[in-house]
Amino acid sequence: MRRIASSQSSRRRVAASALALTTAIAGILSPREALAVDAEVESQTSAQAYQLRGPTGDPILSRRRITQTLGLGVYDLLNHGKDTTANAPVLQFRVRMRLDGDFGMSSEEYALANNSTTARFVPGLAPAPVDVMYGYLEGKRLLGGVLAFKLGRQYVIDSLGYYAFDGGLVRITTPLYFTLEAYGGFEVRAGLPLSNGRWELGGIQRGNRSDYPSTAYPSFQKAGLAPTWAIALESAGPTWIHGRLTYRKAWNTGQSFVGGNGALLGPDQLGIYDRTRVSSERIGYGVNATLGEVAALRGVVNYDLVGKNWTDLQAGADFFLGEHVVVGSDYTFFRPLFDADSIFSVFGFEPMDDVSARIEVSPTDRLSFEADAMVRRYRSDDASDPKNFNKLATSLAPGGGLRARYKWANARLSVRGQGIMGDQGDRIGGDVLYERTLAKRWLLDLRLSLWHFEDKLRTQAVQLNNLASNRSATSLGYVLGAGYQLSPEANAMLQFEHDTNRLVGQRFRLMAVVNVRTWL
């Protein structure tokens, strides 16, 4: 009980932090001087209820979720007013917070009891986490367009993928058509205050272990600060070509469980490794070029300096065949990447590569079609010669899709079909979507879906285990949705989803959403 109480106190701390941040935001908003700043407030509240059941029917998780986001943007802090002069300096502040509560969650799942090793406890699970998705002060076009900065929790997106960190970013735009960018701070990680681990590299579970017995759940590591820095060189100005070269490094700090000789160790045998070590170190380059009305080219190269592996290689081109037709093709090489703390990062696994092609035809502004085809190649040792570690075998997974859309002034009809087949399973199906606004205030949203899938890995398990059922099924579902524009600043939507297949019988999902967005 002590630990449950401790968990509750943890939640109180989170709530207190959220309250403090809200107060800070309110402080920023409170009028001190007659600054002509523009402030925008947006919020989204969604309530969802549905059930999730295990492959054999049990357990059934009742999910009753309330997710609320609250965003604030304060613009024009330099008080330019309505001066529309192009490229005036900009100073602005943006923040967005989120509460993600599941009131269907059992306390056994998130509150650590004394007999924790046999309960339903899930390390790191929280019933109503609060996090700050982003919150930063940003200056742009300062010093004659040379300087830009961001201070606070922020995202960076480039060829290395999404990244979130708390810290500062400075960008120097030179007159020589390139920009130099540097940023540093601490990676946003699960288990740290008002954070989630959405963008940290996978392979290692981290979180707040403050309420855990010292050696319980050793795979669940204590989250520590993760210092990070990066530098990037990016083109600036020309609209027809863009390239960005990024080098980024992050470290892990704090205690981490290790096992002396690797066996499943008893609690007393676990070791602790607590030196600062590299979490990731990568360099990546992405380039896109559009050659007039002829073609668009793209490429990405990412290299992992810890594992000394290429992790992403991409090359693609689209060709514009007249006004209405685009054809394109892409090659993608992908090698999974994990945090350097993770044992998965030193496992022997193979990359996979895709070749794809697409054609898009838009006979009119209203009507468009797209068709694509791809094939993925997997590699592994040859299973037919399992003792030979030098012989690689490949397997192919072909797939493709078709899409069509017709737009009216106040309605849209879309059809989508997709399929992929391989030795891990097949999945094929499609959807029809019809959306329409009525009387300028109502929104109608209708969807019909039919998907069939064969789980070939499971089938193998079933055959070998002689189980009575397999995991293949055909699923039919539909969604009925209706929305209403409550005011220019607010709208609401209600969605009912019903799916049926032989594995789960009937599944229902109800969702209500209210969006508010207003300028103060």
Enumerate residues 168-207 that contact another protein by CB under 8 A.
173-177, 179, 190, 196-200, 202-205
Shortest gap between Cβ of 19 and another protein (angstroms)?
21
Whose Cβ is closer to another protein: residue 185's or residue 328's?
328
Closest to another protein by CB, 465 or 487 = 465
In angstroms, what is the C-alpha Rg of the chain? 26
Per DSSP, the three-state class of 27 is helix
Q: Which stretch binds another protein (CB under 8 A): 8-16, 26-34, 230-238, 436-444?
A: 230-238
Compare residues 22 and 501 and give the one whose CB is closer to another protein: 501
What residues pair up with 435 in beta bridges, in sequence order?
Answer: 412, 445
At its nearest, how many Å lie between another protein and the CB of residue 120? 5
Give the interface segment with another protein, choosing from 8-16, 20-28, 225-233, 503-511 (CB under 8 A): 503-511
Give dist(CA 184, CA 466) in Å, integer: 55
**Which of 104, 184, 254, 336: binder of another protein (CB under 8 A)?**
336
d(CA 187, CA 165): 4
Residue 27: partners with Cβ closer than 8 Å, 6 or more residues away: none
Smallest separation, CB 200 to another protein (Å): 7
- The backbone torsions φ and ψ at residue 106, rounded to the nearest 5 degrees and listed phi first, read -80, 140
Provide the 3-class DSSP secondary structure of residue 202: coil
Residue 486, CB half-sphere, CA atoms under 13 Å: how many? 11
228 binds another protein (CB under 8 A): no
Residue 93 as a binder of another protein (CB under 8 A): the answer is no
| 61 vs 79: CA distance, rounded Å | 52
State the pairing for strand pair 205-207/220-222: parallel
Q: Judged by CB under 8 A, which stretch of 2-10, 11-19, 222-230, 429-437 contacts another protein?
A: 429-437
Is 487 a binding residue for another protein by CB under 8 A? The answer is no
| Range 130-169, binding another protein (CB under 8 A) | 133-134, 140-141, 144-146, 148, 155, 157-159, 161-162
Q: Which stretch binds another protein (CB under 8 A): 8-16, 26-34, 222-230, 428-436?
A: 428-436
Which position has the token pair 């990731």? Answer: 280
Nearer to another protein, 53 or 436 (CB): 53
Q: Which residues touch 31 (CB under 8 Å, ≥6 apart)?
A: none
Nearest alpha carbon to residue 131 among 187, 69, 74 = 69
Write the binding mask 241 to 270 for another protein: x where contact by CB under 8 A, - elsewhere: -x-x-------x---x-xxxxxxx------
CB of 157 to another protein, least distance (A): 4
Q: Site for another protein (CB under 8 A): which residue of 53, 64, 222, 436?
A: 53
Q: What is the Cα–Cα distance from 128 to 100, expressed in whole angstroms?
A: 5
Q: Which of 53, 43, 211 is nearest to 126 (CA)?
A: 211
Number of residues lying near another protein (CB under 8 A)? 199
- Tokens 């087949």 -> residue: 421
Q: Are 271 and 257 in contact (CB under 8 A)?
A: yes
Name the segment binding another protein (CB under 8 A); options: 3-11, 26-34, 225-233, 314-322: 314-322
- 382-421 residues near another protein, rule: CB under 8 A: 383-384, 386-387, 389-390, 395, 397, 399, 401, 403-405, 414, 416, 420
Strands 411-422 and 295-304: unpaired
CB closer to another protein, 184 vs 401: 401
CA distance 152 to 195: 13
Q: Under the criterion CB under 8 A, does residue 211 sit at the interface with another protein? A: no
